[in-house]
Structure 1
Amino acid sequence: MTPRFSVDFNELLERDLIMLSQTDLRKDTNGSSVLLVEGLPIEVQEDNLYDDGTHEVLFARGVVEANSTGTWSHVKWCCRFDSEGVYDIAGQ
């Protein structure tokens, strides 16, 4: 099973790159600790419920990548999205 992590899509470093972790271990959405390594396939999501009742679940698949952007040096690991990018899975 591919690990899935909660993220904040406001933390994009590039169009297809998001901050993931400051350390090598991160808990997935099931509460299991996952060892992050270069190239690990993962899923990321952000769950939003708006005042008007709209439910949105932003989702992307990708791989773990070391932060080499030169910014946000406290972030060790990122997720590089696949070609499908980010999309809403709330209605599925």
Structure 2
Amino acid sequence: MPTATWNGAVIAQADSAAIELVEGTTYFPLAAVHQQYLAPSDKHTVCGWKGTASYYDVVVDGKVNADAAWFYPEPKDAAKQIAGYVAFWRGVQVSA
């Protein structure tokens, strides 16, 4: 069962069938992400084929991992399978 953890907390956990793998990155369905650990960020980036990404800070026990989660609110058609999914980086450990 894929799990995302940071600072000793499970941030997301999903059944293997529920995740999406894109370019080697695990995307968790939003329903599998523990929302209490996410805080909106002002960061946005653009991917040529996925669209504009928005970010969350991951916050656990008062510690902030800035922009450590991202999602595509309106992905382009080529990436429509990741609509409603969140991915992690910057020290968030994702294990299978």
Say which one has the larger Rg: 1
Q: Which is richer in strand?
A: 2
TM over 0.5: no
Say which structure is richer in helix: 2
**TM-score between the two structures when normalised by the length of structure 2:** 0.36
